[in-house]
Amino acid sequence: MTKPEPARKGLLWRTIKAVGWGFFGVRKNSAYQEDIANLTPLHIIAVGLVAVLLVVVGLILLVKLVVLA
């Protein structure tokens, strides 16, 4: 029986950074390998969906602001 792994500090911030770099398509291979070892796919998918939602809402608000001006 294995012990549960203690919560890692900064996991959310590390996931946000990984998703952000993924949006730009720029990532060093060493950092990518480190992310693969430390992050779970569920965290990456969840943060990615929230990021996409924020980008879409931001673009909609920007378009509405430009159209009304």
- Per-residue pLDDT band for 7 (boundaries 50, 70, 90) equals low
Q: Look at 64 and 33; give whichever has higher pLDDT.
A: 64
- Which residue, 34, 23, 32, is CA-closest to 56? 23
| Per-residue model confidence (pLDDT) at position 36 | 82
Task: List pLDDT tens digits, range 20-61.
Answer: 888 888 888 888 888 888 889 999 999 999 999 999 999 999
- Cα distances from 51 to residues 21, 55, 68, in angstroms, run 12, 6, 26
- 5 pLDDT exceeds 60? no
The pTM score is 0.73
Looking only at Cα atoms, what is the longest distance across the chain? 64
